Structure 1
């Protein structure tokens, strides 16, 4: 009975500070009811765990206790995103206690949430790429759109890099294009094959749209540099027109370029340079896709794998 009484008193002491925090969220922060409900749910669980650890006051919560909370969640199979939400709720509450003068430091800020699994980028297979790019319409805007898609897939460009290309950035004789990547870092990418063919076709009809002194390679019907949103919209429309099963986006064309290059060459460093990745760890995500490809080939070709499937 004595233990039960201590637990009740301890929980009541925790609840008093929590209620003040909830009023603060509602009255001063003006958070939505949904967000407030999430805070209450997460902090209720945290409080229960702390009581089980023998914590009686918020001042007794240190970084070791917070790590124990995270470890317990991981043992219970919580997703990294859910643990991050729980830890964020605790950080906000402890910041509130600092604001009230009840704490001097926030121990939850010393603890990092588990790293979330990075989703594998989605790419188009070769057949889908050919189906998408089989556009032989002589309409100038169709020529422009195919040139953009051929260039993004042919050179692995980011959307912003492609949109920002100026006419003087192209060196047809050298077979390269100068692009400005993330962090204003300049690099040169190959400019050959069908990408080169269709960009040249677009340049011939570009004069029908581009305003005087407009330097942008790709322009809209208004004669100015085409917008990111316009490119995304046009690619989505072409995906539907060409009856491609997958949804088309600039990112997918870039990811498809990287995946297909890696499958063909297995040269991670070269793909890193072509994509303009500062760290090779960013490019390594495509090795997972390459492994998926190899696994599929293995399952289809290896005698023992085929027998197992049968």
Structure 2
């Protein structure tokens, strides 16, 4: 009995499609039946496809001559896509609708011999990249300057303070930070990717694409580094090269730094979801706010193109707009 049920289930969409023509208003219903019974998509998903097809039908009905769905062409679909974008629909939703329509027209080609798919070659507008999240200057300083209430004499806490200060002071990537060595090393089979020059107050790093750069290190970060170096020797074991060590004496991992930084931020009641790259964003944003020198920030971040750095000008404008709203007498509502 169960076998006859399963064998008869696929016949519904086939019968529906067989009884409809390419221009028949019932054709979308036949396609939805195909999705339900042959593709076995969830009802929630099929409802989404139905809504997308209804929107396409409504658009077709409003066009000159009221073309059927099969008569819509590339220009029609492109016009509808532009309309949706102009109405403020986000690119992700537009891409989903295009995917729904593209599938429908592929089915029409297979079942009814449609010559061309009017959705092929049409892409949704590019998704706008979210602005990088940066801490306020007060929160950034509080994060790197304050301890969590425990004794700062503990080696791990000294290491944390030095790492957090260095991330914010020089805008390092987390991979660059954990890759730092105590001194520059070049020996058989190993060469340092980065190190801190304590005499020149600068850090040498190798970033993306093996691009090397030298970045200044601030006074507070240098003090935190020297404080860490005073106890680092007690943790050194097999590998003498890494600047920052775990409790086991091995090179500290990026994941451990992430966890320590997040826990430290929570202990200080800093509301943001703080991660190492946020300190890099904060470094770039705060230096740009103070100096306005985009090229200098580009070099310190190690960006190969200034366009990658220009995103921080939007953060700078947000800061200026906030200051304006708070201080200008004619800005207050």
**What's the TM-score bracket when you normalise by the shorter of the two chains?**
0.7 to 0.9
2:329 aligned counterpart, secondary structure: helix
TM-score (norm 2): 0.75
- Specify whether residues 101 and 124 from structure 1 end up closer, same or farther in structure 2 by C-alpha distance, changes over 3 A only: same
Equivalent in the alignment of 1:117: 128
1:73 matched to 2:84? The reply is yes
Pairs aligned (count): 297
Equivalent residue in structure 2 for 1:49, among 35, 54, 59: 59
1:236-281 CA-to-partner distances (Å, cap 9, x unmatched) read 1111222334332212211111111001100011111111223222
1:54-101 CA-to-partner distances (Å, cap 9, x unmatched) read 44354x454322212202213433223321222233345556667779
- Specify whether residues 177 and 238 from structure 1 end up closer, same or farther in structure 2 by C-alpha distance, changes over 3 A only: same
CA contact (8 A) 1:259 1:286 kept: yes
1:208 aligned counterpart, secondary structure: coil
Question: Which structure 1 residue ranges, 5 or more long, are not aligned?
Answer: 1-5
- Specify whether residues 56 and 309 from structure 1 end up closer, same or farther in structure 2 by C-alpha distance, changes over 3 A only: closer
Q: How does 1:64-143 map to 2 (within 5 A)?
A: 64-94=75-105, 102=113, 107-135=118-146, 137-143=152-158
Equivalent in the alignment of 2:332: 309
CA contact (8 A) 1:214 1:225 kept: no
Q: How does 1:141-152 map to 2 (within 5 A)?
A: 141-152=156-167
Equivalent in the alignment of 2:286: 260
1:181 matched to 2:207? The reply is yes
> How big is the alpha-carbon RMSD for the aligned residues of Structure 1 and Structure 2?
3.2
CA displacement at 1:286 relative to structure 2: 1.4
> Within 2, Cα distance between the matches of 1:92 and 1:149?
50
Structure (1 or 2) with the larger CA radius of gyration = 2
1:177 aligned counterpart, secondary structure: strand
> Within 1, Cα distance between the matches of 2:109 and 2:180?
50
CA contact (8 A) 2:242 2:251 kept: yes
TM-score (norm 1): 0.80
Equivalent in the alignment of 1:200: 226
Bigger helix share = 1
Equivalent in the alignment of 1:223: 249
Question: Which structure 2 residue ranges, 5 or more long, are not aligned?
Answer: 1-19, 185-193
1:239 matched to 2:253? The reply is no
- Specify whether residues 135 and 295 from structure 1 end up closer, same or farther in structure 2 by C-alpha distance, changes over 3 A only: closer
